[in-house]
Structure 1
Amino acid sequence: MSYDWISFTTDYGTDDGFVAVCEGVIARIAPVPRVLHVTHTVPAQDVRRGASVLAHTVPYLPPAVHLAVVDPGVGTERRGVVLVVAEGLLVGPDNGLLIAAAEALGGIREAYQLTEPAYQLSRVSATFHGRDIFAPAAAHLAAGIGPENLGPPVDVGTLIRLPEPETLAEEGKLSSEVFAIDSFGNIALAATGADLDAAGATPGTSVHVNIDGRTVNAVVTRTFGDAGPEAYVVYVDSAGRVALAVNGGSAAADFDATLGDPVLLLFARP
């Protein structure tokens, strides 16, 4: 089966030619499929952030080969893999980056290791598998090569999975951690909207927010405009996660927040 689209997600940035090189490799092998760039500004080597962005994006994309490279283990014994899902394929390192996206697309049906030299560049660098292994694999797959041709099958149970962040919700209290920070400075927690409901918080509820020892008072809202300018709000974002924002400002800058920081929300009793 061939694909019209290849989505592309990395931490390569845009200051160098890494993205263009990979896209050029794809075009030389499979000039027909179009490349849809998700982002190339995942924080460097932040596998969990890359996994989150990819998982939140792929359900809205057309059937595609989803190429993702956030790969601090490049050149080590970590595997390169292709995962087969209902309406596409995911290509990248076996370091947890692809799993959440695969689950968002209905779950992993099969997996194969990328070992066949015929579907790689002739010389493979120890530090640029995006160019030499993953981009060629994505191109060949989009052109219709079956994933089973790229290498041996992988037991899905052996794929690397990222550790699940801990969240605890109880009446009037929600403890979690910083899961992601977007370009607007909004802080997403590992907690979900269901956790917010379990804590008994509804729009209009006052909340005391503590992130790694730094505190503010906020209000639970449905959207930013439900609070005044520069007010702190706690809401459920478009990915279904509890988030903290400043109406017209940057919560991440105010808190100097980093991924994994502990978060405690204490809700006022009605």
Structure 2
Amino acid sequence: MITLSSDFGTPYPAAMKGVLLRRTDARLVDVAHDFPRQDVRATAFWLREVLPYFPAATHLVVVDPGVGTDRAAIVVEAAGHTFVAPDNGVVVPAVREIAGDDFDVYEVAYDDDGTASNTFHGRDVFAPAAADVHDSPTIAGVERFSPTEKFVDLTFPTPTVDEETATGEVLVVDDFGNVVTNLPGRLLDGLDRASVDGEVVPVRRSYAAVDAGDRVVTVGSHGNVELAVNRGRGDDAFGLSVGDRVTVDHA
């Protein structure tokens, strides 16, 4: 199985699939191709939340603001999963979620004959590498993959937490408008309400536990504090965007 993730929208993923289908008979599974454009951190967050639920597979990931530059292309081998991606940190949180720190990184040699496009490495570099990964008995056996200790790391910011106050930031906003913070959900334990940036909001276990249109603080499926509106958009109601600072206090 080869999964595909990108910020390409359409039709570019079809070209990657065409390359893969000409080189391998692997089952192809789309994760998403509408990740926020060129947003490595947001994509890394969602991949960490999604890819560990797959059985062992080859994961082709292309969110690549540095395409055409000297950034490396890498393959990461981790607990039966293999990731093929630009070396910008986009797969590292998912790798660590699956395998902790027990993983191996390889740099991919490419463009030896000058045929790779400078603007579409998804088709010309990463898709061929993913096919090689899928069809090779061992990663180390692929001649153009070289072991390396160097890779771009990516971690999420750590919130500041004291006895009754926590300050963090917005990591992502999902398609429903739910505001996902980096604050751990345990901060809401035992609370019936919380102060979010100075405004008191009910704390509930689900969105529908408040009336339609009302704001709510809850713990999302990712385990973090989430700011939402039942049948509405939390980002609009709370006036928050990705990267904004958020303070949650006991109310």
TM range (shorter): over 0.9
| Structure 1 residue 229 displacement after superposition | 2.2
Whole-angstrom CA distance in 2 between matches of 1:252 and 1:57: 22
Verify the 8 A CA contact 1:167 1:176 in the aligned structure 2. Answer: yes
Paired with 1:88 and 1:106, the residues of 2 have a C-alpha distance of 9
- TM normalised by structure 1 equals 0.86
Against the structure 1 CA distance between its residues 266 and 165, is the aligned structure 2 distance closer, same or farther, given a 3 Å change threshold?
Answer: same
Do the aligned residues in 1 keep the contact of 2:215 with 2:237 (CA within 8 Å)? no
Compute the TM-score of the two structures, normalised by the length of structure 2. Answer: 0.93
Q: 1:256 to 1:43 in 2, by over 3 A?
A: farther
The one-letter code of the counterpart of 2:183 is: A
Question: Could you tell which deviates more after superposition, 226-235 or 242-251?
Answer: 226-235
In structure 1, give the amino acid aligned to 2:83.
L
Contact 2:110 2:125 in 1 (8 A): no
Partner of 1:220 in structure 2? 203
How far does the alpha carbon of each residue in 1:56-81 deviate from its partner, in whole angstroms, 9 at most, with x for none? 11111121001111110111111100
Partner of 2:123: 131
Structure 1 residues 179-200: Cα deviation after superposition (integer angstroms, max 9, x where no partner): 0110000000011224x15xxx
Task: Give RMSD over aligned pairs.
Answer: 1.8
3-state DSSP of counterpart to 1:152: strand
Aligned-partner Cα distance in 2 for 1:162–1:110: 16
1:153 match: secondary structure: strand
Letter in 2 for 1:98: V
- Residues 96-115 of structure 1 deviation map (CA, whole Å, 9 limit, x = unaligned): 10100101111342110010
How far residue 256 of structure 1 moved from its aligned partner, in angstroms, is 4.3
- The match for 1:229 among 191, 209, 212 is 212
> Which runs of no fewer than 5 residues in structure 1 stay unpaired?
none
**Residue 186 in structure 1 maps to residue 178 in structure 2:** yes
Residue 258 (structure 1) aligns with: 241
Q: Identity rate of aligned residues, in percent?
A: 35
Instruction: Give the aligned length.
Output: 248
Q: Do the aligned partners of 1:233 and 1:244 also contact (CA within 8 Å) in 2?
A: yes
Aligned partner of 2:190 in structure 1 is 202
Tell me what 1:70 maps to. Answer: 63
Task: Note the C-alpha offset of 1:170.
Answer: 1.6
Q: Which amino acid aligns with 1:12?
A: F
Do the aligned partners of 1:116 and 1:151 also contact (CA within 8 Å) in 2? no
Alpha carbons of structure 1 residues 144 and 122: separation in structure 2 relative to 1, 3 Å: farther
1:247 paired residue among 230, 234, 238: 230
Alignment match of 2:134 (pick from 114, 136, 142): 142
Give distance in 2, aligned partners of 1:192 and 1:137. Answer: 37
For 2:153, the equivalent position in structure 1 comes to 161
